[in-house]
Amino acid sequence: MKQTTRTERLDKILSNSGFGTRKDVKRLVRSGEVLVNGEPVKNPEFHVSIEKDTLCVEGVDVKIKWHAYFMLNKPAGYICSTKSGAYPTVFDLLDESDRRTYLGGDLGTIGRLDADTEGLLIITSDGDLNHRLTSPKWRVPKTYLVHLANEVDEQERESYVADLARGVHIEAEANAEAVDCLPAQLEWCDVQENDKTAAAVCKITVYEGKFHEVKRLFAALGNEVTYLKRIRMNRLFLDESLACGQYRELTKEEFDLLSTLNDEGV
């Protein structure tokens, strides 16, 4: 999405795009079947502009990608890791053609969702964007749909909202230390008929990425999270037309919603 004036060697672009090893693509280039801007190029070391040039191989247009940006509706039962263990990884949900190293780097997730957490997950090879969106400096908002185990009456609801707005102290868990969390925003929702696990439903917006933060916040308030789904990161909302486990590339408009920050945060 980000405009670039980078150039890269033709053989590296072709190899990265799935046309075989460097040896394979050198043979392909020298065959005269590779066109750059409509003209045959037989030099594998020819530098192609990522932004400006067009590439055609054996009559088929090839999209040159420096980075990839995918929106995944993460299902429960998958971990945000490149290595599988007790659970499969979210990268197993990608098509083989997308699950590769890009010219700009390897794929990674922007932040992590627990194995039992669903919803919006961004997978990208853009390390700079990943760093900016996860840096505590920017306090990027992330909104979650939450189901709670215990009913919450009107007075308690007001107390939850006020406590979270002030910032809640969460106890240590696993390797994560006890900490005072940044203020968070809470919005109560109606319990729907299909919310079978929910005695109460709400949306919470947090501005940092502490380990199990949302679960620990509600534990500190005396409740238990039974279902958790991320629905927003920065200004980008999950496309609800994506079924659990489905993904697609971000549009230019969605990329801007995700990536645009200002000097005071988002």
Instruction: Kindly report, residue by residue over 104-147, the tens digit of the pLDDT.
Output: 999 999 999 999 999 999 999 999 999 999 998 999 999 999 99
Q: How far apart are CA 184 and CA 234, in angstroms?
A: 14
Residue 242 maps to a domain: yes
Residue 75 maps to a domain: yes
61 an active-site residue? no
pLDDT above 70 covers a percentage of the chain that reads 97
Residue 56 maps to a domain: yes
CA-CA distances (angstroms) from residue 63 to 42, 161, 207, 234? 19, 48, 36, 28
How far is Cα of residue 155 from the mean position of the Cα atoms in its chain? 36
Q: What is the pLDDT of residues 22-80, one digit of tens each?
A: 899 999 999 999 999 999 999 999 999 998 999 999 999 998 889 999 999 999 999 99
Number of domains in the chain: 3
Residue carrying the six token digits 């964007």: 129
> Which CATH number belongs to the domain containing residue 132 in this structure?
3.30.70.580
Q: How far apart are CA 87 and CA 238, in angstroms?
A: 23
Structure token pair of residue 218: 């509600």
Residues 130 and 249 reside in one and the same domain: yes
Residues 56 and 74 reside in one and the same domain: no
pLDDT at 85: 80
Range of the domain at 83: 69-136+236-259
Q: How far apart are CA 203 and CA 231, in angstroms?
A: 9
Structure token pair of residue 66: 């420096």
Residues 55 and 125 reside in one and the same domain: no
Residue 212 maps to a domain: yes
> Which CATH number belongs to the domain containing residue 216 in this structure?
3.30.70.1560
| Averaged pLDDT, 76-91 | 91
Pick the catalytic residue: 53, 98, 114, 195? 114
Residue 2 maps to a domain: no
Residues 209 and 227 reside in one and the same domain: yes
